[in-house]
């Protein structure tokens, strides 16, 4: 039960003060305003949790739950490279906390190496309209004209997460 209690606290911290701090460091927040890093992220997370295909108007309604009054156009204007960087940074923090091991793996064989890392990679098919930004893999299988490779690494010695990384050549 302590695991769930601790995880809940970590999620509240990541979606709260950590997201606010990342909002500033990513350039999403340039001056004090109604939208903070945390309210923006909570609006998206809770809106898309309720309905993964939510429209801007439905996301605005999720924002109301966070005491944010913004129009669809106002929310749409906030979808910028800085907001994408904010979302990525929050995701990295959340995954790192969820996966982080409390201690290093106590296997003597691993001490011979400075790092023992496992990587996992997957391909996310994107709408074809994005092929100029993210070209598809060109490989065999059910890929679209546009795709993004996502990769996560895990260091067995330290329990640290590497990534998630995204792009054509993640490593």
Are both 81 and 144 inside the same structural domain?
no
**16 located within any domain:** yes
Are both 88 and 138 inside the same structural domain?
no
Query: According to the model, what pLDDT value does residue 18 have?
Result: 93
Asked if residue 26 lies in contact with residue 78, where contact means CB atoms within 8 angstroms, the answer is no
**171 located within any domain:** no
Domain count, the chain: 2
Are both 22 and 72 inside the same structural domain?
yes
For residues 40 and 107, which has the higher predicted lDDT (pLDDT)?
40
**136 located within any domain:** yes
Choose the final residue of a domain: 99, 121, 139.
99
pLDDT digits 0-9 by tens, 62-95: 888 777 778 889 889 989 999 999 998 898 888 7
Distance of CA 93 to the CA centre of its chain: 8
DSSP reduced 3-state for 152: strand
Residue 119, pLDDT above cutoff 90: no
Are both 94 and 128 inside the same structural domain?
no
**54 located within any domain:** yes
Choose the final residue of a domain: 99, 125, 157.
99
pLDDT digits 0-9 by tens, 1-49: 455 567 778 888 899 999 999 999 999 998 877 778 998 999 999 888 8
**32 located within any domain:** yes
Are both 68 and 115 inside the same structural domain?
no
Are both 91 and 116 inside the same structural domain?
no
Are both 49 and 126 inside the same structural domain?
no
Q: Which domain holds residue 115?
A: 108-166
Burial annotation 53-84 (CB, 10 A radius, 16+ → b, else e): ebebeebbbbbeebebebeeeebeeeeeeebe
Q: What is the pTM of this model?
A: 0.63
Are both 86 and 154 inside the same structural domain?
no
């Amino acid at each position: 039960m302590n695991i769930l209690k601790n995880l809940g606290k970590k999620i509240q911290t990541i979606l709260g003060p950590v997201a606010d701090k990342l909002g500033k460091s990513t350039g999403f927040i340039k001056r004090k305003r109604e939208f903070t890093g945390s309210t923006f992220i909570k609006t998206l997370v809770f809106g898309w949790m309720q309905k993964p295909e939510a429209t801007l108007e439905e996301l605005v309604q999720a924002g109301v739950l966070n005491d944010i009054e913004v129009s669809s156009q106002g929310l749409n204007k906030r979808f910028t490279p800085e907001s994408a960087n904010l979302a990525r940074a929050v995701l990295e923090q959340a995954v790192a906390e969820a996966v982080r091991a409390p201690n290093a793996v106590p296997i003597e064989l691993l001490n011979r190496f400075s790092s023992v890392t496992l990587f996992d990679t997957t391909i996310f098919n994107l709408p074809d309209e994005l092929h100029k930004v993210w070209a598809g893999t060109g490989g065999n299988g059910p890929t679209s004209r546009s795709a993004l490779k996502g990769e996560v690494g895990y260091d067995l010695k330290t329990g640290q997460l590497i990534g998630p990384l995204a792009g054509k050549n993640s490593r």
